[in-house]
Structure 1
């Protein structure tokens, strides 16, 4: 009995030491960002070998005494694209859609349009031929988006260039929702999110959850939340919390507990299709060999990569992770900033949610520092 007690004590002490190491790394990396960028609140979640750690700072709204917790809802911005990709690969796994389909299969009004020369895959990887980052201001709803896309003219052939684009992945998500039969919003909220085990992630935050929904902070310091827009749900519309997001990261690290079709969907988002400078573009996620230098990660997430067309080199076959690979995605709305990254082979991952949009470089430097500590704990 004494030996057993010593064993349990040793395990408990080891767990406590690991928790101290992880939370200290988070604190050193992220706490200074609150003052540096005037961020009212932030929630960070980490997973290491299936153990979850959460650290929260500040308030859910500037000037209000509501503390951030792991259950506080934040706008994910473009991290939502990883969910959109999962919905698309779920449709593929159900044989409702193929990646070499063209959008007019689901939107007949695009038949004969220039954009219909692109495949669903090219929509999801931003390689359709030069769609802009955002829709023009006058394109304010989904109907106007389809009309705009029916008249759009590319400046490159499909697959030649990658230009990061909300309209591109927005159309990808829109046709995937149509392929599944219920439309994007209902398929995401009633099928994909529940099958991933995410109980407090939403496109439309229900009234019962509004008290948990943080307020973002605009550049002028005003309270703000995302406005409706064309293909907004598909491109940047998910609201989630650190607890659900770490669950999502863990489902990507080890999808074995998911039902078979969702396992196939997750595997589909882990394939790489185009090499773009320092990274490989998949559906939703962007990939790097791990360990990855901070400079390479910053280059792949730079403003230049988000705003300029880059040469896309199509891989001969979809790239399956054959070595340790880091998957990551940044996201922002007018008042929020987010970052998610994980390495399945190391069973490590991190998510950062904040109610201010501060520079991607700062988020990535902090997350990279924490991931290095997590990797050293292996």
Structure 2
């Protein structure tokens, strides 16, 4: 079940010399922290970063940790191939499928605001007739759109043949061109042609079109754009000044370049995939977001972590969050992401007040998994304190 945004695209950096100068690789000036936290994590993180970047398919890596009001960030490698530019707290990355958790959080806000319910038939919020969005009388419900059990295809337009007939090197550019010219009306027109093959809510099928449909539903019930909803309910309250779903709002001078496993520069994610994987952010902003999600006394946060499918004692999905109870009986909530040229991983442990985020400007088949392993090592080390 653990598949991620655009993972099907990442079957495709050689890199120049990496800088590991100790005076530059850790950015500390913006944060308050104790020596205990830094001493216990520095050597582990430096070694993990060296190991990760020793793979010549890797270029840059940024790491952020929050624990009990203490925050620290680390930066390694480079934001581009052309010259050595060390990432900083201002470096902007694509966060891929972690964007889905923002969409899920907005859904939780909408439920709190009584704009809709998780059990609502999605057709309540669509103009026109969509008999195809039900199977044997059972409709796709709003809650199905945040847990990959809606039955909707991975992408709309639904063109599996494109992945079979287009080379891996060309596919990101072909998809980018198609999706950059794909309108909301195109999406809704193609939605009429979807054919469900099972009752919604039971079968896992990874779907980027589901959060996109949810985006249009949220825009309808609030009468505001997705980008504006992000600003009103998340970005402004959490002071995430460098996070956006609109490329035109990105400070390009701080934007990392993304690459595939062959070192080829990749296109940025099309804006109409914003709700599924198109958010840009920085390490400090993401730590603000994860800190918010540590507080499960907050009604919106608690609802966004509510299990929609699976068993949390083994593996479950909340509102676009993946969840489990660890062997040490602690709740672990995470999501990873991958775009054409970026990989990411974010995890929180509410009982431990720990949040970790890792962002990179390269995508390959193992990057997301390895980022998750680094996060696990950091947490295990912190628990021993």
Question: Which range, TM-score by smaller chain?
Answer: 0.7 to 0.9
SS in 2 for 1:223: coil
- The separation in 1 between residues aligned to 2:327 and 2:219, in whole angstroms, is 36
Give the corresponding residue for 1:247.
Answer: 288
Give the corresponding residue for 1:353.
Answer: 359
- The separation in 1 between residues aligned to 2:36 and 2:233, in whole angstroms, is 39
2:186 is the counterpart of 1:164: no
Q: How does 1:1-378 map to 2 (within 5 A)?
A: 15-115=34-134, 117-129=139-151, 131-135=152-156, 136-137=158-159, 140-206=182-248, 209-228=251-270, 231-254=272-295, 263-275=298-310, 278-291=314-327, 324-358=330-364, 359=366, 360-377=368-385
Kept in 2, the 8 Å contact 1:23–1:53? The answer is: no
- The separation in 2 between residues aligned to 1:342 and 1:64, in whole angstroms, is 34
Kept in 1, the 8 Å contact 2:322–2:335? The answer is: yes
- The separation in 1 between residues aligned to 2:52 and 2:183, in whole angstroms, is 36
Kept in 1, the 8 Å contact 2:57–2:263? The answer is: no
- The separation in 1 between residues aligned to 2:247 and 2:327, in whole angstroms, is 37
Kept in 1, the 8 Å contact 2:323–2:332? The answer is: yes
- The separation in 1 between residues aligned to 2:122 and 2:39, in whole angstroms, is 50
Moved more, 347-356 or 283-292: 283-292
Q: Which structure dedicates a bigger proportion of its chain to helix?
A: 1
Kept in 1, the 8 Å contact 2:347–2:356? The answer is: yes
Change (3 A) 1:57 1:110: farther
Change (3 A) 1:276 1:128: farther
SS in 1 for 2:115: coil
SS in 2 for 1:145: helix
SS in 1 for 2:148: coil
Report the aligned-residue RMSD. Answer: 2.2
- Provide TM-score, normalisation by structure 2: 0.79
CA displacement at 1:71 relative to structure 2: 2.0
Which segments of structure 1 move beyond 4 Å, counting only runs of 4 or more? Answer: none
Kept in 2, the 8 Å contact 1:126–1:169? The answer is: no
Identify unmatched segments of 5+ residues in structure 2.
1-32, 160-177
Aligned length: 326
- The separation in 2 between residues aligned to 1:23 and 1:190, in whole angstroms, is 36
Change (3 A) 1:200 1:223: same
Cα deviations by residue, 1:287-330 (Å, 9 ceiling, x for unpaired): 010247xxxxxxxxxxxxxxxxxxxxxxxxxxxxxx62100101
SS in 2 for 1:62: coil
Identify unmatched segments of 5+ residues in structure 1.
1-13, 257-262, 293-322
CA displacement at 1:174 relative to structure 2: 2.2
Cα deviations by residue, 1:169-209 (Å, 9 ceiling, x for unpaired): 22122212221210222212344321233121111145671
Moved more, 183-192 or 24-33: 183-192
- The separation in 2 between residues aligned to 1:49 and 1:368, in whole angstroms, is 18
- Provide TM-score, normalisation by structure 1: 0.80
Kept in 2, the 8 Å contact 1:72–1:213? The answer is: yes
